[in-house]
Amino acid sequence: MSLDEIRVILQEINLPKKFISEQTAICIKALIDKTERRGLLPGHHNLNEGARIHDILNFSRDVIGKPVAEGTRESYRKTSLAPLLNYGLVVRHQLSTNDPNTYYRLHPDFARIFSEKNIEERNRLIGQLQKKLNSTKERTTFRNIQRKDVHVRIDNEQTFSLSPGEHNHLEKAIVEVFSHAFLSEPQIVYIGDTAPRKGYQNRSLMRKLNLPIDTTASLPDVILFSGSESHLVIVEAVTSSGTVNPIRLEQLRKFTRGPKKLGHKISYVTAFPSRTAFRRFIEDIVWGSSVWIENEPNNIVHFERMGE
């Protein structure tokens, strides 16, 4: 089945248009693939039995012929697999938070559409999924009515709107509280958005800092800069996932090679809304990074090795 045919099926079941992308179609094509492969999870012989994001990226490269970097895994997770999960089309198997062996499978009702030969039965399955997705969209619409966009003050003259949600509320606190508490004359370089928007970008400052900004890549949640201190701060906002762990720190260090060559000091920070959230992820925090907690805004925790 081609990527275009998969996208037609997503249209038929009424998945919102913003999620019907080539990337989403690649995820689904990988998850219906029954070709026997090596290098999968123990006990798994093909991607249809369960695929990690790493496996899906390999499928994109080796089968689709689309070159994708490992750094795009967050894009695949956030903008393709997460919506499919939210609409009940994909099932996630995860033993613990940040489990490296987390894998995904198509929901059986959704998977049957791709193998069903009987037209009447196929149409019945599509009708069932249409009702399921419409019900999910109605609940989502109702929640969105109750929530408003998050307005972030960039400076005294400029405000930028992010999508509703606790993650973006935490980003607002990072910009409006954290940056002023720990940086002198902070400038906002970048703010991501959990919804498929572009977020805020200070393009001229990005070029000045020699940052390789690519809106399709796995960027940090917030990037701050203090010119007077020559200090660049990379912040990941965590309400459910995405700490600065050892793997993420290595990715971020590659991302900040340009500013480092310019002589700027660089700090990596994970921000949490509360100590309760922090405790859930404390074992993931990497040495050489810091932690900020929104409801204790005047304090910062440094994870430092002795002698560094």
Quick: pLDDT tens for 141-174. Answer: 444 534 578 889 998 888 998 888 888 989 999 9
**Which domain does 214 fall in, by range?**
150-303
Of 145, 179, 210, the last residue of a domain is: 145
Q: What is the mean pLDDT of residues 103-109?
A: 89
Output b/e per residue, 247-270; b: 16+ Cβ within 10 A.
Answer: ebbebbeebbeebeeeebebbbbb
Q: Domain with 40 in it: what CATH number?
A: 1.10.10.1820
My answer on whether 168 and 122 are in the same domain is no
Dump pLDDT digits (tens) for 19-39: 899 999 999 999 999 999 999
Q: What is the mean pLDDT of residues 72-90?
A: 86
In a domain, 308, yes or no: no
Question: Which has the closest alpha carbon to 83: 14, 159, 152?
Answer: 14
Q: State the pLDDT at residue 146.
A: 43
Q: State the pLDDT at residue 137.
A: 56
Q: How far apart are CA 178 and CA 236, in angstroms?
A: 12
My answer on whether 248 and 173 are in the same domain is yes
Q: Are strands 222-226 and 231-237 parallel, antiparallel or unpaired?
A: antiparallel
Q: Please tell me the pTM assigned to this model.
A: 0.54
For residue 134, CA distances in Å to 12, 110, 138, 140 come to 12, 15, 6, 10
My answer on whether 79 and 157 are in the same domain is no
My answer on whether 168 and 286 are in the same domain is yes
Q: Domain with 179 in it: what CATH number?
A: 3.40.1350.80
Report whether 256 contacts 232 (CB < 8 A): yes
My answer on whether 181 and 290 are in the same domain is yes
> What is the percent of the chain where pLDDT is above 70?
91
My answer on whether 220 and 158 are in the same domain is yes
Question: What's the number of domains the chain is made of?
Answer: 2
My answer on whether 99 and 175 are in the same domain is no
In a domain, 156, yes or no: yes
Q: How far apart are CA 168 and CA 164, in angstroms?
A: 7
